[in-house]
Amino acid sequence: MVLYHAISSYQILEAMIHRKLYHPEEKAFLVLPDFVVNKLPQYQQLKKMGFFDELSLFPYRQIRHDAKTLMQQVEDAYEKNIPYPITAFHTVYLAAAHFYFSLYLLMKEIPFHYFEDGCGILSRPEISFDLVNSHTPFQAEWAQEHGLFDGMNPLIQTRICNLDAQTAEIPGDRQNVVHFDVAYALEGLPETFREKIITFFGAPEGLDAGENSMLVMTQQLANLGRISIQEQMLLYQMTLDYYAQGYRLVFKPHPDDVLYYDRLFPGSLVIREKFPAELLPYLLKTRPKAALVQYSSALAGVRKCFPINIFCGYGIEDHFWKLHLYDAGLRLAGKLGIKKIVGLGLFAPQIENLLQYGGLSDFGLEVCFAQKFAPSEADGFYLIDDPGGLEGFSYEKMEEWLSAAPEKAVFLFLNTQQDYLFYQPDHPDWADNTIPLPIRMQRQEDCLFKRQGEALWLLTKDKDFQNAARRVTMEKELPYTGMTWEIGPMDDVALKIAVLEGEIAAMEHRLKHYIQENRELKEQLEGQEERGHF
């Protein structure tokens, strides 16, 4: 007998297809989580329809995340719920190995085959770790320690993954990695079996997305507690304002994402039925022209089905609110005839998407992302967001660079962190070389975007460039978000006021930094005095 363990719809589909292909004649036992009764109330059909011979629910909801009692709990849970000893299974396949069922195998030292957590995730185990860590840090730590996110546990015989969907180097020895493409395998199955799968998942057939549509597969970010529900709304509103103009929207929310996309995006189609994305190509009458997801893994299985695939990038929840600043920065560069940009501290996926899908292709811009902070003496156009994380960065080095920069070098600061990196207190004439470009906004009453007082800051000694930048006008309406932003010329008085306001804000920021530093040093000194170091 073979045993399969699966948690998500994707993993259940994977187990169904894998069993069909590799163990069609053998008895197959499926272990599901007890909470499947809510997500897939029809789970009993897995047995009735013959996908598996037997199945059991593992009581994850009752297991407490307690180091002292975990092993006993897992052992009791196995013995109460699985009618066979583990040795009765000659082959064990685990998907979602970071769930506690694997602990039983570890305790009994039973080797098993490991399915990657999601399509393409094996090369990005940190994504799985982060998702689990955001709501059960104990479980994440435990699974990390036992090599259950990257499949490096010594009991793992093979690591089954979609090699074509990996976006980075797979950790560890490639020898035990076996390729398995669920979407490809599904395609190769008899139509009757596919129909059975579709019937089991209750997936609606004949969905009409319309001629010019974009499929949006959402993530359950608010549900995971990574952002609030209002922030999740805003994330999709802003993202789709930039990448989905002109498309009819088709939403396939994550099973744990309950956000009301139909109300946020009137006229859109929302597919609420819970089924794996791999089934979509068989359900849609007209295939969408584009697909938009956060992580590439969500689309990895079906990306070939859509001419355009947009990946917002892992960590988009920390950067989406800068979209208009990134857009304004790139547009400004484009309008001023710049072709090559060096980016420092930028969120690369967002830049790449804007260049490709955000209506900026006419400018022919090329962005090169600096991997470390290495001030250059060359002329160039530098687009700067948050370089604090770059190796070698410091306020002092930035200041030195700016003051020594050649005449034609141009620095455009997005100032998203309100840290005023352009401020050079030791060079009183810095303000002469600085042009603020305030972003004026008009918002509807229910607009969720609340930030105020944003501006781009252009620093260059080239007066002609300064004057040209001052004359630039641009505007963008964001209908889903409910706001319009614009940048336009200012008279000399308004410009001076804006510079002074920026200078005051910069000084404030710098002062707070020094006060905090001073406080910490004082505490250190006091601590040392108490310990008798003086």
Which positions ≥6 away from 465 have C-beta within 8 Å? Answer: 336, 408, 410
Query: For residue 518, what is the enclosing H or E element?
Result: helix 492-530
Cβ of residue 442: shortest distance to other proteins, in angstroms? 18
- Residue nearer to other proteins on the CB measure, 374 or 507: 507
Alpha-carbon distances, residue 184 vs 43, 204, 282, 314, 408 (angstroms) = 24, 21, 13, 25, 53
Among 180, 200, 261, 347, binds other proteins (CB under 8 A): 261
In angstroms, rounded to a whole number, what is the distance separating the alpha carbons of residues 44 and 52?
10
* Window contacting other proteins (CB under 8 A); options: 49-57, 144-152, 258-266, 374-382: 258-266
Per-residue contact string for residues 454-493; x = within reach of other proteins by CB under 8 A: ----------------------------------------
Give least dist CB 263 to other proteins, A: 6
Beta-ladder partners of 284: 207
Quick note: the x/- pattern for other proteins over 12-51, rule CB under 8 A, is --------------------------x-------------
Helix, strand, coil share (%) of the chain residues, nearest 5: 40, 20, 40
3-class state of residue 107 by DSSP: helix
Q: Under a CB-based contact definition with an 8 Å cutoff, are residues 319 and 345 in contact?
A: no
Least distance between other proteins and beta carbon 510 (Å): 9
Nearer to other proteins, 222 or 299 (CB): 222
- Binding of residue 417 to other proteins (CB under 8 A): no
Beta strand segments in 335-452, E: 340-344, 366-369, 381-384, 410-413, 434-438, 440-443
Count of residues interacting with other proteins (CB under 8 A): 20
Q: Name the residue nearer to other proteins (CB basis): 225 or 364.
A: 225
Residue 521 as a binder of other proteins (CB under 8 A): the answer is no
Q: Does 258 bind other proteins (CB under 8 A)?
A: yes
The C-alpha atoms of residue 316 and residue 238 are separated, in whole angstroms, by 11
Among positions 61, 80, 263, 522, the unique one binding other proteins when judged by CB under 8 A = 263
Minimum separation from the CB atom of position 173 to other proteins (A): 41
Alpha-helical runs (H) found in 179-309:
182-188, 191-201, 229-243, 261-264, 296-299
Q: What is the DSSP string of 70-89?
A: HHHHHHHHHHHH-SS-GGG-
Q: Contact between 262 and other proteins (CB under 8 A)? A: yes
Cα separations in angstroms, 343 against 347, 371, 398, 399, 513: 9, 9, 14, 17, 25
Please give the residues from 226 up to 245 whose contact with other proteins meets the rule CB under 8 A. Answer: 228-229
Of 105 and 270, nearer to other proteins (C-beta) is 270
Token duo for residue 192: 């009757």
102-131: which residues touch other proteins (CB under 8 A)?
A: none
By CB under 8 A, name the binding residues for other proteins. Answer: 38, 222-223, 225, 228-229, 256, 258-263, 270, 272, 507-508, 511-512, 515
